[in-house]
Chains A and B, each alone.
Chain A
């Protein structure tokens, strides 16, 4: 197991260098003068020279790339042009929202998806099965932002005066605010990674309210997360349900399932301990693959629900040509994506000993 993990980590090195190269190129490949592109058409020559000097644009590309890797390794993502503050601070502000949304969407899609897949597989071609599979086909085809808007319309307007009303936008209710943890703990002078961690926890509505024991805030934060999570989770849910169904149908015809039944094992236990263990392997692979669509979906859905996450920031930064922010966020998201896939691979090897030996 350790050898497998070590080999998997070594394989990560070329990919990591590639990711750094791509994000590095984002800024270098902008057509025209990078100075004009970043500072705007009215940048004077003196300003441009200072800019190039400051960002080391006069050195050769290779030196620039090595320096870029060095900076990134130290968590220095440069400064935002629009906000004149470190990109890492903006990441610490925006990332918690997107991670919360992605995790909740993942929780929703896996639990509901696996459940629907199991009940369809146990009674193939029943009404439940047919309905689930039709819904799965439609679910895969929906644009996530459209589903978000439709959910907002239904639960915020149609259900307005019923207990089913769910808020359609924002991270927290109007009167709810988060406590600044750095201030709370008297840690305002931190720098580097500890600062990032405190900032991150402070800006994550869920972590923050749990740490400070603010249960009404926690409830409000979770309440606001329902519709976005359902919207983001629906496409992966559909795919997971289809995958679970087809694998379980296949597994239920295997000899070991028949043996278990012949031994007199209860049907419930046949499914849960004999069949599902084997079903989980392909399903976990699918969950890993779908992480990408969860992250992209989170980025798209934030716009719909006015959530202060990575997506809204990324789009604003592209439209206002704030390239350091675009670069930083792209890098962070790619790293998260790669790490989740690593985690999936490792859990895959844990579940299926054959993978370790390959």
Chain B
């Protein structure tokens, strides 16, 4: 596998730009491809949830038993019964539809919390790295303190202040993720700041703002993209955990963590209610983790050398 990639690299490297090269590497990376397939599938489910889901996710169904096991015609469920691939939940709703709609929520949760964290963390990190001195010291000590708490526990503490609910849980997870992005942006800004092209731009009289936004930040993006992808995975897990504990999303919202939390006592008599939402969470997180690993290999210039050699 790796020698194969090396040969392709050698023959094409002269003709392609670094950006195109990175994309091509990404599409040749085994785990990145699997990650993209999983995420593409989930994205399709999320966008077309209304068309794909057989039932309304919060509609209570009549004529079904609560917590009924999955009824799949192919696997011998009588054809005169309505088909419920994932079974029926504790409020007589179709579990498959709820899991499908849950994908929408989970992707939104991951992307929104990480965007929030990148925005705030990026600004803090850029300021700290660019200005330096006491500003840097103060900002980074604050980040140290936030990092001194296990992140999920800090999120729980923040939720206890803000009150429970999905929005507050997202805000809490966003806040806890800030230090990681702030540190990352700070360290890349510091290393990029001293490179020749930035010094050159400064010497021809570029303003501070232009230096930061025109030269430094665009060149600091690579590690940020990788960290953001992996950060989405963590955010989805943490949001599911908060909802599982009853501190996040509220019923009847089809949130995977909440679905698990509501039915955790049914594990022995209706295990399907716990199994499917958990698999959905795992698959989503796996997708982002694999894509993140692939992006790191494709975008990180240091690894580019070692991979070919």
Which chain B residues (159-195) contact chain A, with CB distance < 8 Å? 159-164
- Does B267 touch A at the CB level, under 8 Å? yes
- Which of A18, A146, A314, A318 interacts with B282 by CB under 8 Å? A146
Q: Mark B238-280, 1 if CB is under 8 A from A, else 0.
A: 0011001111000000000100100010011001001101100
In whole Å, how far is A131's beta carbon from the nearest beta carbon of chain B?
15
A333 touches B267 (CB 8 A): no
Q: Which residue of A lies closest to B277 (CB)?
A: A146
A15 touches B267 (CB 8 A): no
| A143–B141 alpha-carbon span in the complex (Å) | 31
B150 touches A149 (CB 8 A): no
B149 touches A333 (CB 8 A): yes
| A22–B164 alpha-carbon span in the complex (Å) | 19
A295 touches B244 (CB 8 A): no
Segment of A133-141, A182-190, A194-202 in the binding face: A133-141
- Does A307 touch B at the CB level, under 8 Å? no
- Does B145 touch A at the CB level, under 8 Å? yes
B149 touches A22 (CB 8 A): yes
Which chain A residues (1-54) contact chain B, with CB distance < 8 Å? 14-15, 18-19, 21-23, 25-26, 29-31
In whole Å, how far is B148's beta carbon from the nearest beta carbon of chain A?
5
In whole Å, how far is B99's beta carbon from the nearest beta carbon of chain A?
13
Q: Mark B184-221, 1 if CB is under 8 A from A, else 0.
A: 00000000000000000000000000000000000000
Q: Which residue of B lies closest to A157 (CB)?
A: B268
- Does B46 touch A at the CB level, under 8 Å? no
B153 touches A295 (CB 8 A): yes
- Does A152 touch B at the CB level, under 8 Å? yes
B145 touches A146 (CB 8 A): no
| A296–B245 alpha-carbon span in the complex (Å) | 12
Segment of A82-90, A108-116, A297-305 in the binding face: A297-305
B156 touches A318 (CB 8 A): yes
B159 touches A318 (CB 8 A): yes
A141 touches B245 (CB 8 A): no
- Does A334 touch B at the CB level, under 8 Å? yes
A26 touches B257 (CB 8 A): no
Q: Given contacts A137-B289, A300-B245, is CB(A146)–CB(B260) below 8 Å? A: yes
A300 touches B286 (CB 8 A): no
A299 touches B152 (CB 8 A): yes
Which chain A residues (301-341) contact chain B, with CB distance < 8 Å? 303-304, 314-315, 317-319, 323, 326, 330, 333-334, 337-338
- Does B6 touch A at the CB level, under 8 Å? no
A145 touches B241 (CB 8 A): yes
- Does B300 touch A at the CB level, under 8 Å? no
Residue among B31, B148, B151, B246 having the largest count of chain A Cβ atoms under 10 Å: B148
Q: Given contacts A143-B260, A304-B264, is CB(A330)–CB(B157) below 8 Å? A: yes
| A140–B164 alpha-carbon span in the complex (Å) | 27
A137 touches B290 (CB 8 A): yes
- Does A153 touch B at the CB level, under 8 Å? yes
Q: Is the interface of B mostly helix, strand, loop or mixed?
A: helix
A138 touches B286 (CB 8 A): yes
A137 touches B31 (CB 8 A): yes
- Which of A29, A138, A303, A337 interacts with B148 by CB under 8 Å? A337
- Does B64 touch A at the CB level, under 8 Å? no
Measured between beta carbons, the chain B residues less than 8 angstroms from A338 are: 148
In whole Å, how far is A247's beta carbon from the nearest beta carbon of chain B?
14
- Does A292 touch B at the CB level, under 8 Å? yes
Measured between beta carbons, the chain A residues less than 8 angstroms from B160 are: 26, 317-318, 323, 326
- Does B131 touch A at the CB level, under 8 Å? no
Measured between beta carbons, the chain B residues less than 8 angstroms from A140 are: 285, 289
Q: Which residue of A lies closest to B244 (CB)?
A: A145
In whole Å, how far is A158's beta carbon from the nearest beta carbon of chain B?
10
Q: Which residue of B lies closest to A317 (CB)?
A: B160
| A204–B20 alpha-carbon span in the complex (Å) | 59
In whole Å, how far is B109's beta carbon from the nearest beta carbon of chain A?
13
B156 touches A314 (CB 8 A): yes
A326 touches B142 (CB 8 A): no
Q: Given contacts A150-B274, A314-B156, A318-B160, is CB(A143)–CB(B145) below 8 Å? A: no
- Does B281 touch A at the CB level, under 8 Å? yes
| A337–B285 alpha-carbon span in the complex (Å) | 26
| A323–B267 alpha-carbon span in the complex (Å) | 32
- Does A156 touch B at the CB level, under 8 Å? yes
| A137–B35 alpha-carbon span in the complex (Å) | 11
Measured between beta carbons, the chain A residues less than 8 angstroms from B39 are: none
B245 touches A315 (CB 8 A): yes
Measured between beta carbons, the chain A residues less than 8 angstroms from B247 are: 315, 318-319
| A22–B278 alpha-carbon span in the complex (Å) | 33
B260 touches A149 (CB 8 A): yes
Q: Given contacts A143-B257, A292-B151, is CB(A14)–CB(B141) below 8 Å? A: yes
Q: Which residue of A lies closest to B287 (CB)?
A: A141
Can you pick out 15 interface pairs between chain A and chain B where the beta carbons lie within 8 Å of each other? A30-B161, A137-B286, A141-B282, A143-B278, A145-B264, A146-B274, A146-B278, A149-B264, A153-B267, A299-B156, A300-B241, A315-B247, A319-B164, A333-B150, A337-B148
Give A contacts to B, CB under 8 Å.
Answer: 14-15, 18-19, 21-23, 25-26, 29-31, 137-138, 140-146, 149-150, 152-153, 156-157, 291-293, 295-296, 299-300, 303-304, 314-315, 317-319, 323, 326, 330, 333-334, 337-338
Closest A-B pairs by Cβ, 4 of them:
A18-B145, A146-B278, A292-B150, A296-B152
Given contacts A330-B153, A334-B153, 13 further A-B contacts (CB under 8 A): A15-B144, A18-B141, A22-B149, A22-B154, A26-B161, A30-B161, A149-B267, A292-B151, A296-B152, A315-B247, A318-B247, A319-B246, A334-B150
